């Protein structure tokens, strides 16, 4: 039975209880959100190492990290190292987008070691098993999907919304079809003169997903790849089909989230999220960025985190990170770290702005530690403690500087917080004293009592040699 079927039957599963504990909400609320399709718990029945989590707009905004090898780079050890880096820096889910060699071994190892849900795009493996993409058969696709479900994949991107009738709508685009899955399927449709097999076999796929409780991530194969193409007819025609498929999957008892763009001007992001929520009856929206400008290759973790913040503010439930290597190359461990930092900032900023319970406590605790010159507490509370400490230590490495009432940014004579505090102590500013002074004791807000990042939560997972966090 899937989490959706259980929820509809009024059953609270172990996964729902765990999720309620992690989100600090009532189990009944989790069950209702899952039963209504407003949230998903991607949890393949065969994924034994999973610590269940939930994706939905009423819960904390989640972040996905893409990893995976290509024909040119990486191996099993390297992929496990990337998985560990992604989890260590706070990924809520990880997608294995491998297109190189050893696909089964890498996927199985990832699932075995991962406490977070693992997602895949099965069309990538199908392409690897034929000479030409147009050689893919319906049977091969179903075979790959069934095998990956059996291996324990928690959610799969299925580009079933790319239809034959949509393809002419992409003709005038500036950047055509930029989704890998979308471009493969468009080629298949054109060369075979037949409808998208993921669409025609959707019922069969629902049956497989129901057996293993795999969650759909309905892919946006026609997403815009440039600002010029955002919100065009092709994108919205596909979205309408994704709405139809959402309802079909729900009818079959299968959980669904829907993927979104891509590249979208800032002023259109909220409108796009609202449209998806309307067309897909509130199914969780899982967005890639979006990038709000096309001009900054090398910095697209930033261009896209800006759009992701806006999207989460408007109701997107999960943000797929983008790394600095986007459009340029396969991300390495440092890129995974930078991408995740950008996206966890986006997710948290949106949670604060949306008034998510407990989110602001983290900011307040860090601010109090900062004003109290409690450097160790400040590092401990930081989104990336290792980076915060290493930057501080670059100029003031000694232990004595962990008590210092300044840092090298303004220097000892110009430290505004020290000057402000001395002035208050001298009574010169007594007339503007506020009750806020009492809150500067960081000891009042220990890290354990605020909404700490999940960094280190999964340190018990086996650490491949050389991975971030491997001290040995
Ligand atoms: S020196 Fe400047 S940056 Fe450093 S603690 Fe003081 S006010 Fe903050």
- What pLDDT score does 452 carry? 43
Out of 416, 418, 420, 442, mutate this one to test ligand 1's pocket (max ligand atoms within 8 Å of CB): namely 416
Pocket of ligand 1 (CB under 6 A): 406-407, 409-410, 415-418
- What pLDDT score does 74 carry? 66
At 50-82, the pLDDT tens digits run 999 999 999 999 999 998 887 766 688 888 988
Out of 409, 411, 413, mutate this one to test ligand 1's pocket (max ligand atoms within 8 Å of CB): namely 409
Confirm if 134 and 187 have CB atoms less than 8 A apart. yes
- What pLDDT score does 472 carry? 30
Mean pLDDT per segment of 10 residues, for the chain of length 472 residues? 98 98 96 98 97 97 91 79 92 93 93 97 95 96 98 98 98 95 97 98 98 98 97 98 98 98 97 98 97 97 98 98 93 90 97 95 96 95 95 91 92 93 79 47 40 40 41 32
- What pLDDT score does 468 carry? 41
Question: Within a 10 A sphere around the Cβ of 449, how many other Cβ atoms?
Answer: 11
Give Cα separations from 19 to 10, 172, 332 (angstroms): 16, 45, 31
Report CA(407)–ligand 1 centroid distance (Å). Answer: 5
Report CA(313)–ligand 1 centroid distance (Å). Answer: 31
Out of 404, 417, 421, mutate this one to test ligand 1's pocket (max ligand atoms within 8 Å of CB): namely 417
Report CA(396)–ligand 1 centroid distance (Å). Answer: 13
Q: Which two tokens stand for residue 68?
A: 């995976």
- What pLDDT score does 431 carry? 58
Confirm if 316 and 347 have CB atoms less than 8 A apart. no
Q: Which atom of ligand 1 is nearest to the CA of 412?
A: 1
Confirm if 303 and 342 have CB atoms less than 8 A apart. no
Those residues whose C-beta lies under 8 Å from the C-beta of residue 185, and which sit 6 or more positions away, are 123, 159, 162, 196, 198, 221
Confirm if 53 and 457 have CB atoms less than 8 A apart. no
Interatomic CA distance for residues 337 and 253, integer angstroms: 36
- What pLDDT score does 94 carry? 97
Confirm if 221 and 238 have CB atoms less than 8 A apart. yes
Report CA(403)–ligand 1 centroid distance (Å). Answer: 13
Interatomic CA distance for residues 366 and 452, integer angstroms: 11
Residue 120: φ, ψ to 5°: -140, 170
Tell the residue nearest (CA) to atom 4 of ligand 1. Answer: 407
Report CA(391)–ligand 1 centroid distance (Å). Answer: 13
Interatomic CA distance for residues 438 and 421, integer angstroms: 12
Q: Which two tokens stand for residue 163?
A: 């239809």
Q: Which atom of ligand 1 is nearest to the CA of 416?
A: 7
Tell the residue nearest (CA) to atom 6 of ligand 1. Answer: 415
Q: Which atom of ligand 1 is nearest to the CA of 414?
A: 1
Report CA(163)–ligand 1 centroid distance (Å). Answer: 57
Comparing CA positions, the residue from 339, 340, 337, 367 lying closest to residue 352 is 367
Report CA(411)–ligand 1 centroid distance (Å). Answer: 7
- What pLDDT score does 446 carry? 41
Report CA(332)–ligand 1 centroid distance (Å). Answer: 33
Out of 395, 396, 406, 420, mutate this one to test ligand 1's pocket (max ligand atoms within 8 Å of CB): namely 406
Is the bond into 249 cis (omega within 30 degrees of 0)? no
Tell the residue nearest (CA) to atom 3 of ligand 1. Answer: 409
- What pLDDT score does 438 carry? 44
Report CA(436)–ligand 1 centroid distance (Å). Answer: 19
Report CA(410)–ligand 1 centroid distance (Å). Answer: 5
Q: Which atom of ligand 1 is nearest to the CA of 418?
A: 6
């Amino acid at each position: 039975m899937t989490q959706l079927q259980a929820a509809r039957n009024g059953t609270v599963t172990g996964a729902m209880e765990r999720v309620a504990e992690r989100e600090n909400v009532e189990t009944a609320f989790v069950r209702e959100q899952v039963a209504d399709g407003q949230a998903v718990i991607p949890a393949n029945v065969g994924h034994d190492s999973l610590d269940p989590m939930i994706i939905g707009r009423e819960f904390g905004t989640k972040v996905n990290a893409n990893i995976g090898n290509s024909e040119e780079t990486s191996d099993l050890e390297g992929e496990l190292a990337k998985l560990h880096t992604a989890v260590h820096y706070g990924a809520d889910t990880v997608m294995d987008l491998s297109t190189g060699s050893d696909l089964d071994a890498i996927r199985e190892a990832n699932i075995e070691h991962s406490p977070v849900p693992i997602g895949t795009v099965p069309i990538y493996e199908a392409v690897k098993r034929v000479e030409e993409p147009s050689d893919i058969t319906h049977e091969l696709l179903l075979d790959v999907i069934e095998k990956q479900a059996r291996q324990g994949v928690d959610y799969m991107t299925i580009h079933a919304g790319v239809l034959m009738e949509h393809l002419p709508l992409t003709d005038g685009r500036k950047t055509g079809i930029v989704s890998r899955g979308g471009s493969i399927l468009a080629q298949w449709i054109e060369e075979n003169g037949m409808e998208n097999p993921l669409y025609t076999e959707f019922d069969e796929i629902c049956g497989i997903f129901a057996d293993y409780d795999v969650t759909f991530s309905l892919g946006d194969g026609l997403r815009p790849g440039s600002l010029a193409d955002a919100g065009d007819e092709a994108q919205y025609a596909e979205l309408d089909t994704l709405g139809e498929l959402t309802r079909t999957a729900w009818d079959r008892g299968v959980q669904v989230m829907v993927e979104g763009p891509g590249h979208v001007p800032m002023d259109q992001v909220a409108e796009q999220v609202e449209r998806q929520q309307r067309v897909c009856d509130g199914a969780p929206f899982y967005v890639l960025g979006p990038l709000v400008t096309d001009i900054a290759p090398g910095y697209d973790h930033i261009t896209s985190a800006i759009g992701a913040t806006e999207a989460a503010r408007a109701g997107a439930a999960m943000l797929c990170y983008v790394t600095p290597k986007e459009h340029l190359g396969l991300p390495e461990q440092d890129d995974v770290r930078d991408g995740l930092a950008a996206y966890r900032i986006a997710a948290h900023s949106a949670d604060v702005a949306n008034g998510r319970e407990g989110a602001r406590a983290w900011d307040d605790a860090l601010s109090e530690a900062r004003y109290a010159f409690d450097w160790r507490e400040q590092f401990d509370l930081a989104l990336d403690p290792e980076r915060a400490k290493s930057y501080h230590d670059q100029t003031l490495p000694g232990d004595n500087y962990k008590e210092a009432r300044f840092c090298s940014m303004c220097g000892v004579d110009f430290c505004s917080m020290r000057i402000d505090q001395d002035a208050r102590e001298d009574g010169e500013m007594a007339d503007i004293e506020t009750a806020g002074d009492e809150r500067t004791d960081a000891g009042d807000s220990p890290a354990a009592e605020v909404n700490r990042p999940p960094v280190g939560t999964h340190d018990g997972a086996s650490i491949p040699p050389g991975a971030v966090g491997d001290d040995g």
